[in-house]
Structures are given as structure tokens and as C-alpha cells.
Amino acid sequence: MPTLIERRDPLTQAQGVERGYAQTARRWPAQPLARRPHTAAELSGPPPVARLLPVQEGDLAGHGARRAIGQLIRLRVRVVDEDGAPLPGTVLEAWHCNAAGKYIHPNDSHDAPVDPNFYGAARMLAGDDGVAELRTIKPGAYPVPDTHGWWRPPHIHFSVWGRVWLSRLVTQMFFPGEPLNEADAILNAIRDPGARGRCIASLAPSATSEMLFDYQVVVRGRAGTPGLP
């Protein structure tokens, strides 16, 4: 019998469409979700995601002449279940803008420079301890088009795959102590302050030239990490 897992507390999740942010209307369902259990075929295949998607070394910062511009950081991302147990072998994807706040995307109209040494996306595999490491540069803030002054705080988008294709959590990680966190419509669409806090990485001691941050993703359960578009 499958384990019965408590549903997420709605207060710990984003509240869907945000006023003044037209794009969220296209990213959230217009109707309430209908709950449907996965079928045996969905749960038994295809084979583990890690065998179908190539994973890379988690390094977006580069080295030497190919080094991206920006503050070097290292993230330790720990993926756990509802009991805090690590989930080894989880495939994670991360993407973010460069240090000037520019994405490598044709729809990014922000007037900020592209960094030729910054690619901006990585796919990683969590080890036996459920931890995947990403070395990168700290992303910049950027203005959200047509909002008259809303700037997104520095953040990193994450996609976390479950055992099968149907199971995927897409969320965003924020940095501690950022003034723009207080007014960000996406982060504050999560009404519960504790749940918001779980979306913010914590600074860890680092003896190297790279700032070190810890971030934990809880893939399910009542205190599960919110899905953020």
C-alpha cells in the first residue's frame, strides 16, 4: 500500500495569480485542481529520470578566462522527504539570470548586458546524502516588465524531479537579507511566514573565496516546499 502523505497546508503555498503580474495568470490553472491518484503504469515507468536526462557538473561560474562575472557562490541543496530523510539520486535543474539581472532567453527585454561566459542552467544529481552542489555566481535583481517598479530579488529557479516524469516540483530559492525579498510578489504570495522562510537559503561558514549557502527542498508533505512559477 502506498504511504498516505498529508496534503500541503495551503498557507504554505503560493496563492496563484498575483495582481499586477500578468504572467502568473498564464502559469496557474484557472480552475481548482482535481485530485487523481497516479496509475500503476505512471508509477512504474519510464525508468529513473537520471538515466534519461544527462546530468552535468553543477558549475555555472566557470574558471579563468571563461569565468562568469559576479560574486562566486556555492549552494548545497539538500533534497528531503516529508520526514527530513534525504532523497539520493534526485535529479535537480537550476537556472538563473546573470549578475546584471539578464537571462539567456529571447523574451528577456531587460536592458542589461549579456555575460558571454555565463550559460545560466545546470542539471545535477543528488548524492547519497541527498545533497547536490552548485557553484555559480550570485544572480542580480531585475525589473518585472509592465509593473512600474517591481524588481525581482536575486533568486534561483529550481526544478526537482521525482521518481517518474509526472512528479516534478518547480520552485525558487531566495537569498537571506535581501531588501527586495520584503516586497516580492512571488515570495509573498506564500502567506505563512515560516514557509516563506524555507524558500530562503541560509549563509554557511566558508573558508574559500566562494560564499556558501545551504538550501533544503522538501518535496512533499504538509511543510513541503512551495511550488513557485
Catalytic residues: 103, 142, 152, 155, 157
Cell of 51: 538515466
Burial 123-159 (b: 16+ CB within 10 A, else e): bbbbeeebbbebbbbbbbbbbbeeeeebbbbbbbbbe
Distance CA 78, CA 51 (A): 20
Which runs of consecutive H residues, i.e. helices, occur in the chain?
22-27, 40-44, 49-52, 193-197
Name the helix (H) or strand (E) containing 80.
strand 72-80
